[in-house]
Chains A and B, each alone.
Chain A
Amino acid sequence: MRTKALLVMLCSTALLASACGGGGPQSAAAGGGLSDGKVVFGVLNDQSGAYSQLSGKNSIKAVELAIADYQEKYGDKAVVKEFGVETADHQNKPDVANAKAAELYDRKAVDVILDVPTSSAALKVADVAKEKKKLYFNISAATTDLTGKSCNKYTFHYAYDTYMLANGTGRNTTEEGKKNWYIVYPDYAFGQDMEKSFSAAVEAAGGKIVGRDAAPFPNTSGDFSTYLLKAPTLTPKPDVLGTMQAGAELVALVKQYNEFKLRDKGVGLAVGLMFLTDIHSLTPAALAGTTYTDAWYWNYDLTNRTFADRFKTAAGVRPTFAHAANYSAALQYLEAVQAAGTDGSDAVVKQLEGKTVSDLFLRNGKIRAEDHRVVHDAYLAQVKAPAEVTEEWDYVKILRTIPAAEAFRTPSPDCKL
């Protein structure tokens, strides 16, 4: 009988682990001027899990830097005099993201939601933004659906997407002569999307996918050895192993890639999505020579470095591209409010659409009116060898700038704003 009771107990943990929330409706001021007399940002992201380092609480610091810069720039002429920054942890769960987004808009009087990593959660928030007619800048989710079939008038996709990553890394690596690819991807929306984008980019550049494997997600054992054993036995032998894993799973896979000595066996490594914090955690030695596509790099030029110094004073670490993009999105939102003279959503969207802009994050940037994809220069980056690293966090050299026009896909016919 005990056995049965214990099984019931095991099941009950599922209930304990789940969370729920709700939001009640509340009307906001309409017409000109500012709703509630101020602008409130809502930073919605992962603050305790796998993606909390790459954006997380430090994104709030980035938004605060943007507010400071806006105040300094406009002084007495600033339309926005009062600011608020609200934040919530969505735990990478779509249902939590959904509830928290509604709560931020309705109860915390948030005018614009920023960040939202994890594609499945990001798509839910897009629906909420559409329903509430409030702005939403997605920074750290990758799915192209945000500017495809799930696009809407109030959602902007700011920093990167799977197309940008695949086009940068997949195409460039193939053109370098590494034609045969073995792709390992996590078996969920992001991974499947990445696998499709990478396959398309590799094949378009004249390469071939000799094998592909979906790894369980989440990978409970943290073990990828099956795929690493398999890689050199494929025919023809792949030149490069393309991994679409992210965060801790990427760390585990790279560790094991080195353990199985695949580089010595002639199988190179290409990483689909990597953040500065991942390199920091793996150490540059584990990744030396690996190429990937970056949306922004802190030590690229003096402008970036100056921001990175300010950020380090505030947050204690160097910024990832997600932090810089959160800064930029907050700033561009305030600029649009300044130009419109109101934080009414429709007026702000009108200001943003079609705008060409260059700032810290957006180089040769343009906010496309057709699908709300924010296009900008991207960078093909390579992890330095340990001997080349002279400063903590300076782990990467930029091989090539990918021009904005080339970095992102053309607007998708699936998107109807």
Chain B
Amino acid sequence: MVNFLQHTFNGLVGGAFLALLALGLAVIFGMLRVVNFAHGAIYMLGAFGAYVLLTEVGLSFWWALIVMPLMLALFGMALERLVVARLARLDPLYNFLLTFGLTLILQDAVKSRYGVQSSPYDAPEVLSGTLDLGAFDFPAYRVFVLVMAVAVCVGVWWLLSRTRVGMVVRAATERPELSTALGIDVGRWVTPVFGFGIGLAGLAGVLAAPIRAVNPLMGADLIIVVFAVVVIGGLGSIFGSVAAGFAIGLVQAWVQALGEHWALLSQVLVFLVMAGVLLWRPAGLFGREEAPA
């Protein structure tokens, strides 16, 4: 039972990363109809940025936690203005290919400067111990990651449901043409929302730096799983992507804990779930069926 609780808790931590990344993707897709393939590369930049800030500027993890998401959000906004916006009116495939290309450029740029070898990065001193959670103890840093992720998700929910900005974003997400027709200046919010989604990926990257291998390819594999998570939750559904993120994290942890012969299943699990969900509810668990074109 204790083991089960441990693995459950651990699954939630794993899910926290998926949820943060999926949330950013969902926000961007909802507002811009852009499938941002570069999300994994941004996650990598967040982790790498933390490393560079520490080694070359001397800023600690706590600074990185604030500075990197902001810097990347600005980078994202510039990106949206300079390139993404130019392709917005075309088939979504164009922006998909654009962001795929960006991923390769960003990865190779980091590779050419820092190599592919993983760079060392440690958790801050305060969080390097373990916390006694009653039934078991757990690395303090992981507890912190979970708390952060939940706080960010709740914060985003509050922003979307309780503020005027959120109302505009939700309206624009669900019925962009109608919102514009009603006199809402949707365009004004496109760039900040894109930057915000990118910032979230950067935050996930910084959070990952102390516990995962920091290298140029760290986002490349992860992004495929995050896409699957977003599809399971329902493309563009903000609640769906967060819920699916945590759920997939949980299920993966449970299956991995089953033992040696379940390794293959845990690897393909997320895609099996995705296939199942698509058959059962083509719009995803929390997505809304679009009216037939």
Interface residues of A (CB under 8 A from B): 1-7, 9-10, 13, 16, 48-50, 52-53, 187, 212-223, 225-227, 229-230, 233, 248-249, 251-252, 255-256, 259-261, 277-278, 280-283, 286
Contact = CB atoms under 8 A, between A and B. Distances in A.
Nearest to B265: A216
B89 to A, nearest CB: 15
Contacts of B130: 260-261
A220 B260 contact: no
B241 interface: no
Q: Is the interface of B mostly helix, strand, loop or mixed?
A: helix
27 contacts: A1-B290, A1-B292, A2-B290, A3-B284, A5-B91, A5-B93, A9-B92, A10-B227, A13-B37, A48-B111, A50-B116, A50-B217, A53-B115, A187-B264, A187-B267, A213-B263, A221-B222, A225-B13, A226-B7, A226-B253, A248-B217, A251-B215, A252-B118, A255-B211, A259-B210, A281-B120, A282-B120
A13 B93 CA distance: 11
Given A9-B35, A259-B123, A216 B266 contact: yes
B139 interface: yes
A13 B100 contact: yes
Nearest to B116: A52
B257 A230 contact: yes
Interface of B: 2-3, 6-7, 10, 13-14, 17-18, 33, 35, 37, 91-93, 96, 100, 108, 111, 115-120, 123, 128-130, 139, 141-142, 208, 210-213, 215, 217-218, 221-222, 224-225, 227, 231, 235, 252-253, 256-257, 259-261, 263-264, 266-267, 278, 282-284, 287, 290, 292-293
B194 to A, nearest CB: 17
B260 A214 contact: yes
A66 to B, nearest CB: 24
Given A230-B257, A251-B118, A225 B14 contact: yes
Contacts of B139: 259-261
A219 B35 CA distance: 23
Given A222-B218, A259-B141, A53 B117 contact: yes
B6 A229 contact: yes
Contacts of A229: 3, 6-7, 10, 257
Given A222-B212, A225-B14, A233 B92 contact: no
A32 to B, nearest CB: 44
